[in-house]
Structure 1
Amino acid sequence: MRNYTYVLLLLATLIGWSCERETLSIPSTPTPAGARIKLVHTAPEAASIDLYINDQKISAGLPTGASSISAGTGTPTAITYGSTFPGSGVSYAVVQSGQVPITLSSPAATTTSSTTTVATQTLTLNEGSYYSLLVFGTGTQPQVKLIPDDFSAANDPSKFYVRFINLIPNAPAYDLALSTGTVLASNIAYQGISSFVGVDVSNNASFVFRLAGTTTNVTTAQTFTSSTSGRVVTIVAQGIFGRTGTAVPRLFIYVNR
């Protein structure tokens, strides 16, 4: 009888442990609510830029002579020509969705001077959606354009994906091609944006851009060293048509995914 009772207790314990296992859940990290936005500075004549969303500075340029940067979301950094915020890898800033007022301003040149407003807009940002906020054009008051970053077509895990944007003022239409000759986007006019197109994964893939319909490269090839499967990138033609030096037309690559 004692052995029978012991067996029943053991079975009850095992059944209880089994039921507990069935009800346990593995904790997961919730996805933050809001929209995702990446600021892309491609205006060669504009100063570094601060981004304010709902009057909150989420990126910051450092005035001359200052010893620290104003606090914001994440680590504030100066957004200069040919860079993005957030600036590391595939990061996007998570911001409020809906009708969102933004301000772009150039930081003060010194600790005593004032900032200069570059642009103000109200953006419509959908919950959970990804966007690039492009700053481009000539002069110190550049243009601003919000574009959706829709990765739904980038669904072949054996490829990486690229799109091409022409942001060179007064420039003709361009083609984007691999340095091997394969054309990825054709006849993209100023402010034109191609669809994402799949590219076979290759280490150190090199890209060139050309006057539409020609085989003459505008500048030297731009090599991308992180073309792993599933990667999604945007390739921007930036600079000013006919210029040399800092504003010379060239390619700039940033990562979306």
Structure 2
Amino acid sequence: MKKYFLLISISTILLLGSCGEESSFLTEILPAEGARVKFLHAAPDAPGVAIFVNDKKVSGTLTVAPTTPGTIAYGGIFPANDYAVLPAGSAKVKVTTPTVGDATLLSGDVNLEAGKYYTVIATGLAPTYTPYVVQDNLPEISGNKVFFRVINLIPNSADLEVDIAGSIAATGIKVSQGGDKFIAYDIPNFTNTAVTVPVKIKINGTATTTTAGTVTASLFTPTTNTVTYSGVTPGRVYTIVARGVLSTQALDAAGRPVVTATRFAPTVSSYINR
């Protein structure tokens, strides 16, 4: 998988005197040509964020002072449709938290190539947030095929299993994997009418050894997250991001396994690449 990692300068609670120049995204950020970029908020304990590229705001909806500018909430994607078009070359990217004193969550530089597609994902838990940048190598349109990609961002999972329309389509997707593989699904008997396709994500935990011996059950009882896509036609490309943190398992004073729930239950985000 071809990954690009930002050069990070992390500051969890750094209060800024200014968040850079607020500007019209449509009139000042979008060039006629360049790299295509999406931003996804997948850091469970971080508040809503705003994205700045080269010190110009490219996300959220401005409101009248003194109200807070719109932000990308946890699980949110920007832009919701299509990609933002940014100048090719080195871009300065900054992610801030407007509701927490405009603190900088992530900042750094990323090289963007003209004509290529990227997804920039904010991940991690305080005090360490990490950007995960994936090049979106969109598959060519072929027959009645539709394409799905599943990225695993659940840090304490073992792997993910993907079921498309009742059949296992992929297994063993480890943490920080899945970004390089789009799974082709051939729509059966397609007759120019959009169809519905259910995609189920099974999240597996990791077995652990305790003082009572090896616990064969996983840290997390496997669950299923289902994303049902309606209006599906050949050539569509979708990304599903599994996010959150699994429950953990330990022993109580009597040596009995106890499952501790997490504040950030595993779930999925989904968006259209094409």
User: Which of 196, 203, 227 is the aligned partner of 2:232?
Assistant: 227
Checking the alignment, whether the CA contact within 8 Å between 1:63 and 1:107 is kept in structure 2 is no
Find out whether 1:167 has 2:156 as its counterpart: no
Which of 97, 100, 106 in structure 1 is aligned with 2:97?
A: 106
Q: Write the mapping of 1:67-216 to structure 2, written as runs, cut at 5 A.
A: 67=67, 69=69, 77-87=70-80, 89=81, 91-109=82-100, 114-139=101-126, 141-151=128-138, 153-180=139-166, 182-193=167-178, 194-201=180-187, 203-211=195-203
| Structure 2 letter corresponding to 1:187 | G
Residue 252 of structure 1 is matched in structure 2 by 269
Count, aligned residues: 211
Q: TM-score, normalised by structure 1?
A: 0.73
Shift of 1:238: 1.1
Give ranges in structure 1 of 5+ residues lacking alignment: 1-30, 70-76
Q: Deviations over 1:65-106 (max 9, x none)?
A: 83474xxxxxxx42111110012x3x2111111011111111
Task: Answer whether contact 2:68 2:98 (CA < 8 A) is retained.
Answer: no
Distance (whole Å) between structure 2 residues aligned to residue 51 and residue 140 of structure 1: 19
Change in 2 beyond 3 A, CA 1:139/1:36? same
1:241 aligns with 2:234: no
C-alpha distance after superposition, 1:136-172 (max 9, x if no partner) = 2223652111111111x33314111011100011111
CA pair 250-44 structure 1, distance change in 2 beyond 3 A: same
Structure 2, unmatched stretches of 5+, are 1-30, 188-193, 205-217, 248-259
In structure 2, how many angstroms separate the alpha carbons of the residues matched to 1:172 and 1:61? 38
Distance (whole Å) between structure 1 residues aligned to residue 64 and residue 245 of structure 2: 27
Higher helix share: 1
Greater gyration radius? 1
* Residues 133 and 144, structure 1, Cα contact 8 Å, conserved in 2: yes
Does residue 54 in structure 1 map to residue 50 in structure 2? no
Is the CA contact (8 Å cut-off) linking 2:157 and 2:203 kept in structure 1?
no
Structure 2 Cα separation of the partners of residues 177 and 132 of structure 1: 23
Q: Tell me if structure 2 keeps the 8 A contact 1:46–1:141.
A: no
For 2:269 and 2:97, the matched residues in 1 are separated by 22
Cα distance in 1 for residues equivalent to 2:224 and 2:261? 11
Structure 1, 162-171 or 55-64: larger mean CA deviation? 55-64
Q: SS of the residue aligned with 1:103?
A: strand
Letter in 1 for 2:145: K
- Higher mean displacement: 191-200 or 242-251: 242-251
Taking the aligned partners of 2:44 and 2:159, their CA distance within structure 1 comes to 19
Question: What is the distance in 2 between the residues matched to 1:189 and 1:170?
Answer: 10
Residue 40 of structure 2: SS of its match in structure 1? strand
Distance 1:48-1:97 versus aligned 2 partners, 3 A rule: same
- The one-letter amino acid paired with 1:241 is L
Report the RMSD for the aligned CA atoms in angstroms: 2.8
Measure the CA separation in 2 of the matches of 1:157 and 1:78: 39
Aligned mates of 2:144, 2:161 — CA distance in 1: 24
Equivalent residue number for residue 21 of structure 1: none
Give the deviation of 1:245 after TM superposition. Answer: 7.7
SS at match of 1:221: strand
Q: CA, structure 1 residues 32+184, in 2 after alignment: closer, same or farther (shift >3 Å)? A: farther
